[in-house]
Amino acid sequence: MAKRILVVGTLDTKGMEVGFLKEQIEQGGHETVLMDIGILGQPLCQADITRQQVVRASGMDLQEAIVAGDRQRAVAIMIEGASRKARELYAAGELDGVIAVGGGTALFMGTAVMRALPIGVPKVVLSSMIAGDVSHFVDGKDITLMQSVADIVGLNQVTRDILIGAAGAICGMVEAGTSSASAKPMIAVTDFGITTPCARHAGQLLAEKGYETVVFHTVGSGGTAMEEFIGQDLFVGVLDLTTHEFIDLLAGGYYGGIGPERLETAGKKGIPQIVGPGGLDCIAVVHHSEVPARFQGRGIYYHDFRRGVRSSAEELAVAAQVMAERLNRAIGPVKVLLPLRGWSEADQEGGPLYDPQADRAFGEEMKKCLKPQIEVVEVDAHLNDPLYAETAVALLEEMIRRK
């Protein structure tokens, strides 16, 4: 059965190349909807959704921005309109996948349109700008990035082959579809490399009780993705035992790229959640250069290309305040579960990040800042000990039953 694929491109600069991509997708047996997000020149091929329609969907005045020479605003207008059109197509059941092609503009504008669509919709970007740090373009979405190697300028043996491959990629993704829905209730679980045993223990226990777990890697994008899934009502409970992203956010670590919704969606939905301090002992430093001067003198844990720097009592007190503020807004059941013997494989007696005094500062501040209805449960175990996971699962299951 033919699928409908949205093809996004600037038809004033990449019209010939986008047109070729459209033809390849159609030769693969699928329908296309070609959307023009060009701004200045005349389109070089016919669009199904013209730039004028895109602008009208934005509700803003593109010509005013062009006359003023304000390219930033013009691009924002096109992104807003294109995102709305994409959402409209999806809501109407007329979009099964999306692909964008070009250089930096395709990467910037195309991924913005894709981020407006739910996780699960196939998304491919073909660009010559993939080799750098593109994490902020992908954010928490399931966007597939394909390096074009040569710039997409003109049709030649190299660009034709690359475009044919990109067409094959999006066609294959929409043909693959999705797995059938699970009959088991699902639980969201968080982990980081140094807290993985905790997530595994919890997952095994939950599986024995008839649940299916989805584990999210708390590296910024993972926490963001989990919040979106929670917002789609996919989970009956959340074991957010690894909240590492908050210490990176507040202390300048590498994985602090989280949005304001982090640690809030389950609370707004009333979904039962257990929250732990996994990985808050570790400020991630990824670069191969020296550890920043502000971290000199602290314990350091060498993992792989990443290093973890010990968080201080003062930083953890601030993290507790920020996390408590978000948890206090929850309308559903919440418990905070504190392991008393360490929060990661590096934070245990004899480990490079072991600092029970700093850990206690977090717990004390959390108790002080949380509203009385939110219980803080202490477990005389390490976060990666089976006892901690067993306690977390038992508490969560009790909360789910009560709800």
The domain spans of the chain are 4-176, 186-402
Instruction: Retrieve residue 39's tokens.
Output: 């701004």
User: How distant, in Å, are the alpha carbons of 114, 192, 272, 278 from that of 275?
Assistant: 31, 14, 10, 9
Beta carbons within 10 angstroms of residue 395's beta carbon? 18
| Long-range contact pairs involving 203-210 (C-beta distance under 8 Å, separation at least 24) | 205/389, 205/390, 205/393, 206/393, 209/393, 209/397, 210/184, 210/185
- Whether 257 shows a pLDDT value over 90: the answer reads no
pLDDT, residue 265, reads 97
Three-state DSSP state, 279: coil
User: How distant, in Å, are the alpha carbons of 13, 77, 285, 312, 341 from that of 248?
Assistant: 40, 33, 9, 12, 22
Instruction: Retrieve residue 13's tokens.
Output: 């600069």
Buried b (16+ CB within 10 A) or exposed e, 205-225: bbeeeebebebbbbbbbbbbb
Q: Per the CATH hierarchy, to which homologous superfamily does domain 186-402 belong?
A: Uncharacterised protein family UPF0261, NC domain (3.40.50.12030)
CA R_g for the chain: 24
Residue reference for tokens 């494989």: 345
pLDDT, residue 287, reads 67
Instruction: Report helix, strand and coil shares of the chain as percent, to nearest 5.
Output: 45, 20, 40
When pLDDT is cut at 50, 70 and 90, the band that residue 116 belongs to is very high
Among candidates 90, 106, 87, 97, which has minimal Cα distance to 169?
A: 97
Of 166-175, 220-229, 359-368, which gets the smallest average pLDDT?
220-229
Beta carbons within 10 angstroms of residue 249's beta carbon? 18
Beta carbons within 10 angstroms of residue 139's beta carbon? 18
- Whether 289 shows a pLDDT value over 70: the answer reads no
Among candidates 324, 323, 334, which has minimal Cα distance to 395?
A: 334
CATH class assigned to 4-176: alpha beta
pLDDT, residue 119, reads 86
- Whether 352 shows a pLDDT value over 70: the answer reads yes
Q: How many helices (H) and strands (E) does the chain have?
A: 15, 14
- Whether 236 shows a pLDDT value over 90: the answer reads yes
Mean pLDDT across 151-158: 89
| 186-209 pLDDT tens trace | 999 999 999 999 999 999 999 999
Mean pLDDT across 109-133: 91
- Whether 139 shows a pLDDT value over 90: the answer reads no
pLDDT, residue 335, reads 98
* Chain centre distance of CA 148: 24
- Report yes or no: 37 and 78 within 8 Å, Cβ to Cβ: yes
Mean pLDDT across 93-102: 95
Percent of the chain at pLDDT exceeding 90: 74
| 30-46 pLDDT tens trace | 999 999 999 878 888 99
CA angle (379, 306, 259) in 5-degree steps: 70
